[in-house]
């Protein structure tokens, strides 16, 4: 059995698998291991949504939509409900060749991606392989891993170029190499719980799968994501300083669902068909990207609140940038001392702006509690504005830079158009009231 590879990747979900595909296409010998067997859910649940640019990155590696169609449900619209105030429907615009986003079921999606790696002759996959430690040379450089399957003798596997930790926010590789946290925004965090449901009532005039968000701008939101096989994932998103399950997470979760009349109506007669998964006080962090013989990727190096659903895209774009650097290093065009800082710069170029905006949105949409008058006027005018809809989706799908996507010009224009809509509505109602009197005369 082969024991030496160019690169060893620990973690076989989207971050590690997509990187393995790019390196395998470039001719590198790659070992990718995961302690789980597939299909299975990741240890930490994530926002189950794929935006168009993430799907474009999957297209680039040859993982075409037909290969994971069984694990997704396309949605062409979304509904945002401010309970007790107003609601609006948003139509998903065409971006990157698709006029839909996708809710997806992680176990099936991850398994399809893992299976896809079998197309690359130079990529070796080993599921059910637990890594216990890294190996080092006399100078302290990471040279490989030690681990094996349950009940089997330990193996020592070597990497000529590097070992990559793509093993999630609780990364064992990060711990073993003592990767330092370089940024930590822990002042305002959220707590999320997820479960799949069947038999939900449709929302109002719903004619197809939709993404739905229900909130009252008081620190609690409920989100509906179309999954697969008719299932819908329902998630609660709660500011952490108010998220006390009292030792019974299931009752806590149902209590939040029942607190919204719109949600209560949809789940009436429905049934929860999966175990409840949750994450408390979701960290917003960056770690060191690498050191002698090691690198981190995906949630292992950078993770944040799921409010914007960016986890899969971040993992894929980080892997794309890292793959080009590793291929250059393998070909001798880039030294290790150049690769690590180049990767650090690429990581911030791709994720820094969105990280900052996500922190703003987390504060604005979960921790701020606008007065009722503001909700009924300025916020309603903004959120019901078609120009806002288009820009909001362009922001989420990374069609535009995330920095300052919600600029003062957009807000002012939306407010002005909202006032005019209200005036038009009042005039229309006045005409409607006047018309019967005109007929009677």
State how far the Cα of 233 lies from the Cα of 218, in Å rounded to an integer: 22
Residue ranges of the chain that CATH labels 3.50.50.60? 4-48+105-185+283-355
State how far the Cα of 262 lies from the Cα of 167, in Å rounded to an integer: 38
What is the reported pLDDT for 439? 43
Summarised one tens digit per residue, pLDDT across range 160-169 is 999 999 999 9
**214: nearest Cα among 200, 228, 230, 198:** 200
DSSP state letter for 201: P
- Residue 335: HSE in the Cβ half-sphere, 13 Å Cα cutoff: 2
What is the reported pLDDT for 426? 84
Residue ranges of the chain that CATH labels 3.30.9.100? 190-279
What is the reported pLDDT for 431? 66
Is residue 102 within 8 Å of 73, Cβ to Cβ? yes
190-279 belongs to which CATH class?
A: alpha beta
Render each residue's pLDDT in the chain as its tens digit; 441 residues. 789 999 999 999 999 999 999 999 999 999 999 999 999 998 887 889 999 999 999 999 999 999 999 999 999 999 999 999 999 999 999 999 999 999 999 999 999 999 999 999 999 999 999 999 999 999 999 999 999 999 999 999 999 999 999 999 999 999 999 999 999 999 999 999 999 999 999 988 788 899 999 999 999 999 999 999 999 999 999 999 999 988 999 999 999 999 999 999 999 999 999 999 999 999 999 999 999 999 999 999 999 999 999 999 999 999 999 999 999 999 999 999 999 999 999 999 999 999 999 999 999 999 999 999 999 999 999 999 999 999 999 999 999 999 989 999 999 999 999 999 999 988 777 666 676 554 444
Largest Cα span, the chain: 101
Is the bond leading into 72 cis (omega within 30 degrees of zero)?
A: no
What is the reported pLDDT for 44? 81
What is the reported pLDDT for 440? 43
State how far the Cα of 161 lies from the Cα of 292, in Å rounded to an integer: 10
pTM of the model: 0.94
Is residue 175 within a helix (H) or strand (E), and if so which, with residue range?
helix 172-176
State how far the Cα of 392 lies from the Cα of 397, in Å rounded to an integer: 9
What is the reported pLDDT for 433? 65
Is residue 316 within 8 Å of 364, Cβ to Cβ? no
Is residue 238 within 8 Å of 256, Cβ to Cβ? yes
What is the reported pLDDT for 353? 97
State how far the Cα of 299 lies from the Cα of 46, in Å rounded to an integer: 10
> In CATH, what is the architecture of 4-48+105-185+283-355?
3-Layer(bba) Sandwich (3.50)
State how far the Cα of 349 lies from the Cα of 419, in Å rounded to an integer: 38
């Amino acid at each position: 059995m082969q024991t030496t590879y160019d690169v060893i990747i620990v973690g076989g979900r989207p971050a590690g698998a997509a990187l393995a595909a790019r390196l395998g296409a470039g001719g590198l010998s790659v070992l990718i291991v995961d302690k789980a067997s597939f299909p299975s859910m990741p240890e930490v649940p994530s926002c189950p949504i794929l935006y168009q640019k993430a799907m474009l990155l999957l297209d680039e590696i040859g993982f075409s939509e037909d290969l994971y169609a069984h694990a997704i449900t396309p949605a062409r619209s979304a509904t945002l409900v401010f309970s007790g105030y107003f609601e609006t429907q948003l139509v998903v615009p065409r971006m990157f060749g698709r006029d839909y986003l996708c809710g997806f079921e992680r176990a099936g999606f991850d398994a399809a991606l893992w299976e896809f790696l079998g197309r690359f002759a130079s990529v070796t996959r080993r599921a059910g392989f637990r890594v216990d430690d890294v190996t080092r040379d006399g100078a302290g450089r990471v040279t490989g891993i030690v681990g094996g399957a349950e009940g089997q003798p330990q193996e020592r596997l070597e990497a000529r170029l590097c070992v990559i930790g793509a093993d999630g926010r609780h990364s064992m590789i990060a711990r073993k190499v003592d990767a330092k946290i370089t940024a930590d925004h822990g002042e305002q965090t959220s707590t999320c719980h997820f479960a799949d449901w069947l038999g939900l009532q449709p929302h109002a005039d719903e004619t197809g799968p939709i993404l739905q968000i229900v909130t009252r701008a008081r620190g609690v939101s409920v989100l509906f994501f179309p999954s697969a096989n008719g299932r819908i994932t329902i998630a609660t998103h709660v500011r952490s300083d108010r998220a006390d399950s009292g030792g019974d997470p299931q009752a806590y979760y149902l209590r939040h669902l029942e607190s919204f009349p719109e949600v209560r109506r949809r789940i009436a007669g429905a049934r929860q068909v999966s175990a409840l998964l949750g994450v408390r006080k979701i960290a917003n962090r960056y770690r060191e990207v690498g050191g002698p013989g090691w690198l981190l990727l995906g949630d292992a190096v950078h993770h944040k609140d799921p409010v914007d659903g960016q986890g899969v895209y971040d993992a894929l774009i980080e892997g794309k940038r890292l793959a080009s650097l590793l291929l250059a290093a393998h070909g001798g065009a880039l030294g290790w001392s150049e690769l690590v800082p180049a990767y650090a710069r690429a990581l911030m170029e791709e994720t820094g702006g969105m990280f900052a905006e996500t922190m703003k949105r987390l504060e604005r949409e979960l921790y701020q509690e606008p007065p009722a008058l503001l909700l009924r006027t300025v916020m309603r005018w903004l959120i019901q504005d078609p120009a806002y809809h288009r820009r909001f989706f362009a922001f989420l799908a990374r069609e535009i830079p995330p920095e300052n996507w919600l600029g003062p010009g957009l807000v002012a224009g939306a407010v002005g158009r909202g006032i005019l809509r209200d005036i038009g509505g009042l005039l229309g109602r006045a005409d409607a009231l006047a018309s019967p009197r005109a007929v009677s005369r």
